[in-house]
Chains A and B, each alone.
Chain A
């Protein structure tokens, strides 16, 4: 299953609902383009909902890191929501779980963004 994204706005936060695989090639490119488009439109509070992402490879991990640093460097915030066990375990073993701000409740996650 290829990667798909759709965006929602909740209280000034853009929630990007992702589904499928974030892997080398199309999946990573779709995520990259999605984040770039949001930044270009001035949306700098981004919550990536990974609840339906069932697979990420090392390129996908790299793309998440890239998205995080790109948003941060532009004065924004990028957080992760609803990690599946597979993605959670990958972020644990790569020590990235402590780098990302990971949430499991959407409403609380939205409120956690700076006003």
Chain B
């Protein structure tokens, strides 16, 4: 099966967050993931889009968010990029630490990591790129059978 790729360039608005979530849900469903997995993928994309719009681009109308979906036989790979200053991963708190449990923010990346099989975060001075990978059941990204 050949790869299918679709890309969106979106404004830094709340509508973008909702759109990214809806498209992720649709593409994950078409890719054959079950209902539970579709919800997790869509939620991870929503959280990544929130980070891009709010924390990356800070709602700047001059900055865009790009969302790429790539479907292969092995995985669904979603890449979200913003044009912000670059996420400082050292400043992302552990939301499960007792002193952070009652904080009102800081759970987005934790949820993304919880819902996806692999997550790569690449911050730079021109923005942050986050790659979300969900394997098709039983395979890894290189096409080998996944160990149980």
Give the interface of A toward B (CB within 8 A): 23-25, 57-59, 61-63, 65-66, 68-69, 86, 90, 93-96, 99
Contact = CB atoms under 8 A, between A and B. Distances in A.
Contact of A94 (B39, B46, B107): B107
Interface of B: 14, 17, 39, 43, 46-47, 50, 54, 95-96, 101-105, 107-108, 110-111, 114
11 contacts: A24-B17, A57-B43, A57-B46, A58-B107, A58-B111, A62-B104, A65-B102, A66-B104, A68-B102, A99-B101, A99-B102
Contacts of A63: 104
A94 B43 contact: no
A90 B107 CA distance: 11
Given A58-B111, A86-B39, A93-B114, A65 B96 contact: no
B102 A58 contact: no
A65 B46 contact: no
Nearest to A94: B107
Contact of B14 (A25, A61, A68): A25
Contacts of A93: 111, 114
